[in-house]
Amino acid sequence: MNTINRLMVGLDLTAMDQTMVDYAAFLSQVLQIEKVYFIHVEKSLEVPGELMRNLQLNNVPADEGIREMIMTKVGPVFSQIPHIEAEVLVEEGTPVKELLHWAKVKHIDLILMGRKLRMRGTGVLAQKLLRTSRISVLFVPETFQPRLNNVVVSVDFSEYSEMALERVLKVAAAKPDINVICLHAYQVPTGYITLGMSYEAFDQRMRDFAQQKYDQLLTHFPELRERAKLVLVRQEGDDDIGELVVLEAKRLRADMLVMGAKGMSAAALFVLGSVTEKILRHDMDIPLLVFKKRNEDMGFLDALLSP
């Protein structure tokens, strides 16, 4: 996470933009970001004159007018943190393709996208972006508190959750007020009966197994002993794993939920890990950060962007 130097923030010219600007400024100070790009993509910049007048953008090209309008939000906020450079991009084309293109051109480490709960908007663009890129994405809810004290990392002890945990710990090392909580959801297999064990006994066995896996993590990340704790939550029967993780993160008063996801491959087009996918189906007022490995499936994005 300390390798995150360049952010890109998607804007859509709605009231959500102010939230995105404010959160980007907050996060930039926490992560010591060098540069932030704010980007808005229009399918066509040949905007009808009546709409331009409604936006109070008379007598200027559409891209320049939109850029000026965005700067009225960005300027006052980022003038308070002059050591962080901010730039506004207004582009024409297909939103997902343009966002991916400029993320590649500008060497972006993390993309921030809005996640609307009550405001109008489907969030489809943000989810498409996550599914089709190898870049980490942070989903920002409409309302947020400018704090980062409790970070919940969803762990399944895979290499991807370890990657996410490692990046979080790198930030936590420089921020002693950040508490890291490793959240692991588990199930009691239905086959426990055939083993002649009670449900309670096998439940304890599953908890012990998770603790053993966590103890192995401690050998890789010794700083976990002082900075983190393991929380186990049981998935009962047909419980929705996404809802379970979200509810537990809220109970833990998470300021951010973090997880790792496998990158794109041509063979797994538009497919994310099942837990990530299910979490994205639920409305959540907690920022959700999904880390990906940048060097995974390098050729696919090039293929996607090719003419």
Q: Answer whether residue 131 shows pLDDT above 60.
A: yes
Per DSSP, helices labelled H in 175-307 are 199-220, 224-227, 241-251, 274-280, 298-305
Q: From CA 38, how far away is CA 48, in angstroms rounded?
A: 24
| CA nearest neighbour of 302 among 270, 267, 268, 266 | 266
pLDDT in tens, 137-195: 999 998 878 899 999 999 999 898 999 999 999 888 888 889 999 999 998 887 767 77
Name the most confidently modeled range: 45-54, 117-126, 209-218, 286-295: 209-218
User: Can you list the domains of the chain with their CATH numbers?
Assistant: 6-145 (3.40.50.620), 150-300 (3.40.50.620)
What percentage of the chain reaches a pLDDT higher than 70? 83
C-alpha count within 13 angstroms, C-beta hemisphere, residue 20? 28
Per-residue confidence at 298, pLDDT binned at 50, 70, 90?
Answer: very low
DSSP 8-class letter at 252: T
Provide Rg for the chain, Cα atoms.
21
Please indicate whether residue 182 or residue 115 has the higher confidence score (pLDDT). Answer: 182
For residue 281, give the nearest of 242, 253, 249 by alpha carbon: 242
Q: What are phi and psi of 88, to 5 degrees?
A: -110, 130
Average pLDDT rounded to a whole number, residues 10-20: 94
pTM of the model: 0.86
pLDDT confidence band for 295 (50 / 70 / 90): low
Question: If you write DSSP's letter for every residue of 90-107 in order, what string do you get?
Answer: EEES-HHHHHHHHHHHTT
Q: Which of 121, 96, 154 is nearest to 270 (CA)?
A: 96
